[in-house]
Structure 1
Amino acid sequence: MSPGRVTDTTAPTTVRRVLQRQIMPADRDLDVLPLYVDPDPAVLDADKYNVGGNKGAKEVNKATLRQQVSSGTTIDPDQIVDRFAVRVEHGNRLSFGSYFNAFPASYWRRWTIVDEVRLSVELEGRGSSVTVYKSMANGRSQRVASQQVDEGAAGGTFVFDLSLRPFVDGGWYWYDVTAGDEDVVVRAVWDTEVPADRAEPGSVTVTITTMNRPSFCADLVGQLGSEEDVLGVLDAVLVVDQGTEKVREHADFPAAEKALDGRLRVIEQGNLGGSGGYARGQLETVRAGTSTYALMMDDDVVCEPQSILRAVTFGDLARRPTIVGGHMFSLYSRSRLHSFGEIIQTWRWWWMTPEHVLAEWDFGARNLRSTRWLHRRVDVDFNGWFMCLIPRQVLDEIGLSLPVFIKWDDSEFGVRAKAAGYPTVTFPGAAVWHVPWTDKNDALDWQAYFHQRNRIIAALLHSPYKHGGRLVQESVNHTIAHLVSMQYSTVELRQLALEDVLAGPDKLHEVLPHRLGDVNTFRKQYADAQLQPDPDAFPPVRRKPTKRGHSELEVPSKLSQLITAGLMPLRQLRKPRALSREFPEAEIAAMDAKWYRIARYDSAVVSMPDQTSAALYTRDPELYRDLLKRITDLHVKLYRRWPELAAEYRAKLPEITSPEAWDQTFAPWTGGDGEKAGER
């Protein structure tokens, strides 16, 4: 060592960190392969600006957007070498421009400190090559670089340094691999240089709220413990069991528990709904003070385990503490995405997908490279708690879930966090498979109460409009639609919800353990809530023939619907046809049970969306008059009192979402001292 030379003994200021790995489906399920690889050429749909403003052209383009461009070609499951490797057969080309294997560059650019990524692709096969592409926000793809295995070599590792600068509005990176004279095995990793203090991953406490789904829940727990790198970020998995069919008693539970290697805790408490279950996990996470994140996850999902690792990595490298949500694919049509992101339309105070996003998107019909709108970044207001990673710092600052049982707890939390400066990102490449909302009956059954009450509470807390914008008027419209549809139990529940909103926030915790029971008991007195699985439980359909010469199943025009909306409330005052008192006038399938169709009849057998049962709807003019008056009175009262109610709910929000308030609610199952008496 030369005299006077100083040796630098400080630790390195930056290190390389893996952002995501190439993955393949763990169970080799052919239905989900389109989410991992794409063997077809890209057939990009038309640009809306090329389509122009012509109404006819826009309608044609809208129809073509969902047309299948997939050839049906797929890889053989035997080509999946392992979780992180796939074999491409000689002479074939395979694209990794797919939901789980493309790199969502615009999300990393917008929300994280990362400004450059490195893609390393390992090829084992003579004559093979890899080509890297990127897309712009409008979906157009550009070739970035290409490399090939040297002549005579058996393979090689190819590295591409890729900037994130050109991804302000959207865009992805991906790579295609072409096999040469022999098969090629492909592995790939995306990583980046990060500050040394961000080298280690944050840790997670996962909360699964379960209610009488022991098989689903045991399977999910097993999935969480199935991969070593995912286990490495798990502090604990809390199963909050609120049912009577205990997950501990399921045959698959011991193996699932063993897979988590001491990280599993089962907490048993009364049925406090999703908000009560998740709040328990949030409280346990805050009180333990060890995990960086709390991850909310439904019990009836199938999880892509790498999603957890990706969400944690994204959260670790975010510019500021950020809620990181996953996407939801359909459990029944596993390449179909429910929604690519959700926002709150504040004037209506209703959740919805952004304008350019197409819901129920089937990646099996048109994959990422062929779908223009998927390349534009989608910014959201909240993420559903079917999979949602929340920094513990956010819980410390803004509190826990609202005590509202179910519905709007997750969306309200996202809006509350955003107002406090904590964004939510629904992150591509992180997802679960779940029963889609469209296959449920939550607008008509007992959940109608919680939909109505909690939507209004969330609006009172956060709506920027003096009287809630359009919400009160929309509530009137929806309630009357149910009323003319003879859905009297639903109308009563919506009225009960309004009465509880008007009573103020003080009893939200108090009623949480028993409100569901109250609601179910109350609604069962109405015929439309008495579901029958046996079709012979109802009298046969009889009706005097009509003069209609057209199908009653046709969708009416908007003008026709407006006319019907004006006339049907008046029709409800007429005396019902005598024959309708003994025999239903129609059988209406769930898919056709729209208000403008049901309202034509004096009685009808209507099937439920879950296809397990049906109910007899019977028109009652006297009940109609009574409910119509109450609808009017309650909505007028809500409108007039909105400013004072909003002030009251907002003032009480910190209190009702505080750990101390939740401690009191959990006291019957914790011995009242905050200890974990619910554990076994």
Structure 2
Amino acid sequence: MSQQTTETVTRLLQRQILPIDKDTDVFALYVDLEEAKLDTSRHEVGGSKAAKDLNNAAIRQSTSTGRKLHPDQILSRTALRIPQGQQLSFGSYFNAFPASYWRRWTIVDKVRLTVTLKGRGASVTVYKSMAAGHSQRVDSGTVEGDSGTFEFDLTLIPFVDGGWYWYDVVAGDEDAVVESGEWTAQVPQDRAEHGSVDICITTMNRPDFCAKLLGQLGEDETLRPYLDTVFVMEQGSQPVTESEFFGEAEDLLGERLRVIVQGNLGGSGGYARGQLESVRKGTATYALMMDDDVVCEPEGVVRAVTFGDLAKRPTIVGGHMFSIYSRSRLHSFGEIVQPWRFWWQTRLDGYSDWDLAARNLRSSRWMHKRADVDFNGWFMCLIPRPVLEQIGLSLPLFIKWDDSEFGLRAKEAGFPTVTFPGAAVWHVPWTDKNDGVDWQSYFHQRNRFIAALLHSPYPRGGRMVRESLNHQIKHLASLQYSTAELRHLALEDILAGPQTLHSELPTKLSEINAFRKQFSDAQLHADREDFPPVRRKKPPKKGKSDIEIPSRIGTLVAAGLAPIRQLRPLRPLSREFPEAELPAMDAAWFNLVKYDSVVVSMNDGSSAALYKRDPELYRDLLKRTIEIHRRFSREWPRLAEQYRAALPEITSPEAWEKTFEPWLHESDTSSEPR
């Protein structure tokens, strides 16, 4: 009787890499010269709020000594020189192996690490960590001659909840060179070939940024075989094709590049066009959503494709986002939608805005537990074609919540999302934007409610309606009348039903901007001299600062009194002169409610607006706010049923084709090799 055998082949999962541009700001993401100083376990901290707060503050403290890698030590994309007697670790963001993710989501159950060293007496030691963060020595090897290649067979069985593999290298009596490090696995023959990817980039008036990104994608030799088509959805008045950097990118990408010109349909309209073109073409395994204002690590795309190829089922593979201005700062390690509030956030046992140059991976206990997510932002997100074919394309939301809603929709259909360590881009941080109170507040409000109507597990959206009412009153008390009006308009449009989402996509932004112009808090001025000087009849009480952060009791008192204060008569001079100036960092509601008029600067530091209290407008908006939230509370079940019934149709390729009709027959820019 013959025994059936399964043929396997060796497949590269991950390789040791070093920064392409030798930028010292990112060295900590590739190699680590610091010691591991693990923070205190939360189980040791206990349940006391004071103890938790103290521990959270301690965890944020830097453990870095400031030791730096010299750029000359980087010999190539994969080779690194280590001076005599020095030790460094590859237990870093881009070079540690995220074992628990491979264990949980893929068919791989064991890996082989192969490290090649030069330098007499150099040694390599392999470590692993568990979900609780503590590390264990696994194996080691030492160069006996001039060079040596070391192989370590490593199981993934112990990584059910979390944990990483990595290796440290110590130079001996002479300088050592770590020539390469590769993580491979035996996989079935039908998984031997890598998939291909269509990269979908939506751009608007960022020609240089976008063209440089295209150049990055085109010049990376490792990534090139994985690329099928790079779609650029051009929606602005400053085309990427007119950038001085576009010609070089076009030469590098050749016939793989397609620039598609269409009207401004927002991020969701741009990405949906890329998704539609990718599905129509049908030649790529994946469509990867990517923002235009990012710096990419091309190896991350390769890793995302490899992970997707070996996943147990079609899986959305997302990358992480680092700040483009402080390049070792990680935005979030994994995001969820909190179901009761229905708000996106970092997972509950994680941290946002984490500086890996200040506290490394091996010292950050929380990063060793696997982070399971609900969605991944579309700044970098790989979607298998079968997922798009089964659940449809993006919702027509213009901006905000399109990526998170898609992740929730995919999850309900049985397609998980994995935010995969080692795949990342550098992006403009959202903390530098003011999108909670500017024109984007309309889309925040409308799209969050639509996503909740579609996916909230609670009969009336959990806390959604109550929290919206609270936020609306907060904006009113903060003199942000344009924001309150836009949020109110968003709720009215939701009540009108889902049938207008596609038709309003090209026009809603211009309507919003025209509507906002009547409110002083929406009229931005770059020059401070455009505002009158600060004057007030009475100085601050006892000379106290107006920007002190109140205690918890003080916050509750302020929240109770703020709505009532808005009904009081205006103070003298406040109609002619602002009573104060507030920088963006101090423009919290508990400060804004103190004034009848105040100049407030924007988060990006480029402009300011004059906020002016208006008791009559406040009364009118407050009345309408209470009425519409009562209506939402009553009609939530009906609305949820209506939107859920419409979901398959409004996300279908056919519905999107109608929206794209004005631009479908326009010739796009398909690059030919020069």
TM-score, L = length of structure 2: 0.98
Deviates more, 1:391-400 or 1:465-474: 465-474
Alpha-carbon distance change, 548 to 422 in structure 1, aligned in 2, over 3 angstroms? farther
Counterpart in 1 of 2:580?
586
Q: Deviations over 1:247-300 (max 9, x none)?
A: 001111010111113210000000000000000000001101111100000000
Does 2:460 align with 1:454? no
SS of structure 2 residue aligned to 1:70: coil
Matched, 1:78 2:72: yes
Q: How far does residue 12 in structure 1 lie from its aligned partner after superposition?
A: 7.1
Within 5 Å, give how 1:83-98 maps onto structure 2: 83-98=77-92
**Matching residue within 167, 174, 189 for 2:159:** 167
Query: In the aligned structure 1, how far is the partner of 2:541 from the partner of 2:89?
Result: 58
User: Structure 1: how far apart are the matches of 2:231 and 2:419?
Assistant: 23
Q: Is the 8 A contact 1:311 1:324 kept in 2?
A: yes
How big is the shift at 1:679? 4.0
User: Partners in 2 of 1:317 and 1:586 — Cα distance?
Assistant: 59
Q: Does 1:273 align with 2:269?
A: no
Give 5+ residue unaligned stretches, structure 1. none
1:623 counterpart = 2:617: yes
Which of the residues 660, 667, 671 maps onto 1:677?
Answer: 667
CA contact (8 A) 1:331 1:433 kept: yes
Q: Choose the corresponding residue for 2:250, options 257, 262, 272.
A: 257
Structure 2 SS opposite 1:511: coil
Matched, 1:490 2:480: no
Q: 1:37·1:97 contact (CA, 8 Å) conserved in 2?
A: yes
Deviation at 1:18, TM superposition (A): 0.2
Of 237, 246, 269, 2:239 maps to: 246
Task: Tell whether the 8 Å contact from 2:301 to 2:423 is kept in structure 1 after alignment.
Answer: yes
2:541 aligned counterpart, secondary structure: coil
What residue is the counterpart of 2:98 in the other structure? 104
Superposition deviation, residue 47 in structure 1: 1.1
Of 380, 390, 405, which residue of structure 2 is paired with 1:412?
405
Alignment of 1:392-411 (within 5 A): 392-411=385-404
Deviations 1:334-379 (A, max 9, x none): 0000000100111111001111101000001000011110101000
Q: For 1:499, which of 474, 481, 492 is the aligned residue?
A: 492
- State the one-letter code of the partner of 2:10: R
Deviation digits for residues 290-348 of structure 1, max 9, x if unmatched? 11100000000000000000000000000100000000000111000000010011111
C-alpha distance in structure 2 between counterparts of 1:418 and 1:558, whole Å: 38
Distance 2:44 2:555 in 1: 33
Instruction: State the Cα RMSD in Å.
Output: 1.4
Match of 1:336 in 2: 329
The correspondence of residues 22-41 of structure 1 with structure 2, limited to 5 A, is 22-41=16-35
Shift of 1:470: 0.4
Whether 1:441 and 2:434 are equivalent positions in the alignment is yes
Q: Is structure 2 residue 463 aligned with structure 1 residue 473?
A: no
Q: Distance in 2 between matches of 1:547 and 1:576?
A: 18
For residue 116 of structure 1, the aligned residue among 101, 110, 122 is 110
Which AA in structure 2 matches 1:377?
A: R
What SS does the corresponding residue of 2:503 show, helix, strand or coil?
helix
- Do 2:122 and 2:176's aligned partners in 1 also have CA atoms closer than 8 Å? yes
Which residue type is aligned with residue 660 of structure 1?
E
The answer on 1:571 being equivalent to 2:565 is yes
Other-structure match for 2:205:
212
Structure 2 letter corresponding to 1:651:
A
What's 1:130 paired with? 124
Q: Could you tell me which of 128, 148, 151 is aligned with 1:156?
A: 148
Deviation at 1:565, TM superposition (A): 1.2
Which among 320, 323, 329 is matched to residue 327 of structure 1?
320
1:184 and 2:165 correspond: no
Q: Residues 540 and 546 of structure 2 are in contact (CA less than 8 Å); yes or no, is this contact kept in structure 1?
A: no
Residue 540 of structure 1 aligns with an amino acid whose one-letter code is P
Q: Which residue of 2 aligns with 1:310?
A: 303
Residue-by-residue CA offset, 1:113-139 (whole Å, 9 max, x unaligned): 000000000001111000000001111
Answering whether residue 185 of structure 2 is matched by residue 195 of structure 1, we say: no
SS at match of 1:218: helix
**Counterpart-to-counterpart distance in 2, 1:88 and 1:225:** 31
1:422 to 415, 423, 448: 415
SS of equivalent to 2:498: coil
Q: Which amino acid aligns with 1:99?
A: Y
Q: Match of 2:651?
A: 657
Shift of 1:11: 10
Contact 2:214 2:249 in 1 (8 A): yes
Amino acid at match of 2:428: V
Contact kept in structure 1, 2:258 and 2:668, CA below 8 Å: no
8 Å contact from structure 1 (residues 669, 678) kept in 2 = no
SS of the aligned residue for 1:228 comes to coil
> Matched residues in 2 for 1:670 and 1:54: separation?
60
Q: 2:502 aligns with which of 482, 489, 509?
A: 509
Supply the distance in 2 between the matched residues of 1:305 and 1:627 (Cα, whole angstroms).
Answer: 50
* CA gap 1:381/1:553 in 2 versus in 1, 3 angstroms: same
Please tell me whether residue 376 in structure 1 is matched to residue 369 in structure 2.
yes
Contact 1:532 1:613 survives alignment (8 Å): yes
> Which residue matches 1:636?
630
Rounded to whole Å, the distance in 2 between the matches of 1:203 and 1:80 is 30
Q: Aligned AA for 1:531? A: L
Partner Cα separation in structure 1 for residue 48 and residue 498 of structure 2: 50
Structure 1 length-normalised TM: 0.97
Q: How many angstroms apart in 2 are the aligned matches of 1:296 and 1:548?
A: 55
The alignment status of 1:64 with 2:58, answered yes or no, reads: yes
Match of 2:517 in 1: 524
Q: Which amino acid aligns with 2:667?
A: A
Q: Deviations over 1:534-579 (max 9, x none)?
A: 0111111111213245333221122211111111101101111121
Decide whether aligned partners of structure 1 residues 657 and 55 sit closer, same or farther in structure 2, where only a CA change above 3 A counts: closer
Task: Identify which of 645, 668, 671 aligns with 2:662.
Answer: 668
Say if 2:276 and 2:653, in contact at 8 Å, map to a contact too.
yes
Distance 1:310 1:623 in 2: 54
Q: Distance in 1 between matches of 2:177 and 2:6?
A: 34
Does the 8 Å CA contact 1:340/1:378 hold for their aligned counterparts? Answer: yes
Structure 2 distance, partners of 1:41, 1:667, is: 58
1:553 equivalenced with 2:543 (yes/no): no
Looking at structure 2, the residues matched to 17 and 261 of structure 1 have their Cα atoms a distance apart, in angstroms, of 28
Of 258-267 and 154-163, the range deviating more from structure 2: 258-267
Asked if the contact 1:269–1:678 (Cα under 8 Å) also holds between the matched residues in 2, the reply is: no
| Deviations, residues 95-148 of structure 1 (Å, cap 9, x unaligned) | 000000000000000000000000000001111000000001111000000100
Aligned counterparts of 2:202 and 2:552: Cα–Cα separation in 1: 42
Counterpart Cα distance in 2 of 1:50 and 1:657: 48
Are the equivalent residues in 2 in contact too, given 1:38–1:96 (CA < 8 A)?
yes
Identity, % of aligned pairs? Answer: 66
For 1:93 and 1:344, the matched residues in 2 are separated by 41
Q: Which amino acid aligns with 1:632?
A: I
Distance (Å, rounded) in 2 between the aligned partners of 1:529 and 1:479: 16
What is the aligned partner in structure 2 of residue 607 from structure 1? 601
In structure 1, distance between residues paired with 2:427 and 2:305: 21
| Counterpart contact for 2:234–2:240, Cα < 8 Å | yes
Equivalent position of 1:463 in the other structure? 456
Task: Name the SS of the counterpart of 1:103 in structure 2.
Answer: coil
Give the Cα–Cα distance (whole angstroms) in 1 for the partners of residues 267 and 573 of structure 2. 45
